[in-house]
C-alpha cells in the first residue's frame, strides 16, 4: 500500500478484521485471495498478524520476480511462486528468480535481500515468521538477512481430537495435516 507521497505502508490483505483477538475471529467464512493466504489461515479460517506477514512476503516475492503468486499455466514446478523461489534459494540460484524484465539490471544485494525477506515471511510455521518491524529493519539493511533452511519446510499442523476417546477405540490421538509444497 502507498500513501499520498508514494511512501510504502503496510496493511492487511483482506484477512484481518476489527476483532477482539481474545474472543477469536468474528468472521463466519474465510475471506482472502488464494496464493496470499497463509496455510494456517486456510485451515483455521482465522486471521492473525502472522498471516498478514505471510501475505506481505508473497507480495515481496511478486515484486522481486515480476509474476503472480500462482501461475496455473506454468509447469508444475514453477506454478507456485513461493515453492519455485524457495527451490531456487535451496539450489543457490536465488537471483534467477529476478524479474526478467529487469534484464539483470538491478543491485544484486537488494534483490537478494527482498527475496530472502519474502521467503522468511512465507515460512510455513507462523512462529518462524519475522515481525513487520524485523522485516523493515532487514529491508533497510539495519539487520542481517534472515537465516533460512535450504529446503522449504513442509507445513504440518497437529489437530487434537476431542476428549472422551478411549485408548482401545480404533482412532488416532491426533490428526496431522500436511500441505503439499
Q: What confidence tens digit (pLDDT) does each residue in 117-129 have?
A: 999 999 999 999 9
Helices 49-65 and 81-90 cross at an angle (nearest 10°) of 70
Domain chopping of the chain, boundaries: 39-156
What is the per-residue pLDDT across 148-176, written as a single tens digit (0 to 9) for each? Answer: 999 888 876 654 545 444 444 343 333 34
The CATH number of the structural domain formed by 39-156 is: 1.10.510.10
What are the beta bridge partners of residue 8? Answer: 2
- Work out the average pLDDT over 73-91: 90
Q: Are 152 and 85 in contact (CB under 8 A)?
A: no
Cell of 85: 523461489
21-35, 89-103, 130-144: segment of lowest average pLDDT: 21-35
Look at 2-6, 110-114, 166-170 and tell me which has the smallest mean pLDDT: 166-170
Strands 174-178 and 156-160: antiparallel
Cell 534484464 locates to 103
The confidence score (pLDDT) of residue 143 equals 96
Report how far apart the first and last C-alpha atoms of the chain are (Å, whole number).
Answer: 28
pLDDT-derived band at 9, boundaries 50, 70, 90? low
Distance CA 142, CA 134 (A): 9
Averaged pLDDT for residues 133-162? 83
CB under 8 A, 24+ apart: contacts of 70-76: 70/34, 70/35
Amino acid at each position: 500500500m502507498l500513501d499520498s507521497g508514494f511512501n510504502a505502508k503496510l496493511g492487511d490483505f483482506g484477512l484481518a478484521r476489527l476483532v477482539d483477538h481474545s474472543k477469536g475471529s468474528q468472521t463466519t467464512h474465510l475471506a482472502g485471495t488464494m496464493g496470499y493466504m497463509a496455510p494456517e489461515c486456510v485451515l483455521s479460517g482465522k486471521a492473525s498478524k502472522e498471516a498478514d506477514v505471510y501475505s506481505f512476503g508473497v507480495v515481496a516475492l511478486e515484486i522481486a520476480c515480476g509474476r503472480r503468486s500462482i501461475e496455473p499455466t506454468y509447469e508444475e514446478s514453477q506454478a507456485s511462486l513461493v515453492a519455485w523461489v524457495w527451490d531456487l534459494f535451496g539450489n543457490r540460484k536465488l537471483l534467477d528468480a529476478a524479474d526478467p524484465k529487469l534484464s539483470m539490471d538491478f543491485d544484486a544485494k537488494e534483490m537478494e535481500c527482498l527475496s530472502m525477506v519474502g521467503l522468511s515471511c512465507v515460512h510455513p510455521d507462523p512462529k518462524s515468521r519475522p515481525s513487520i518491524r524485523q522485516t523493515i529493519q532487514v529491508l533497510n539493511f539495519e539487520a542481517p538477512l534472515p537465516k533460512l533452511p535450504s529446503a522449504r519446510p513442509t507445513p504440518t499442523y497437529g489437530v487434537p481430537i476431542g476428549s472422551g476417546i478411549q485408548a482401545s477405540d480404533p482412532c488416532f490421538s491426533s490428526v496431522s495435516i500436511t500441505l503439499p509444497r
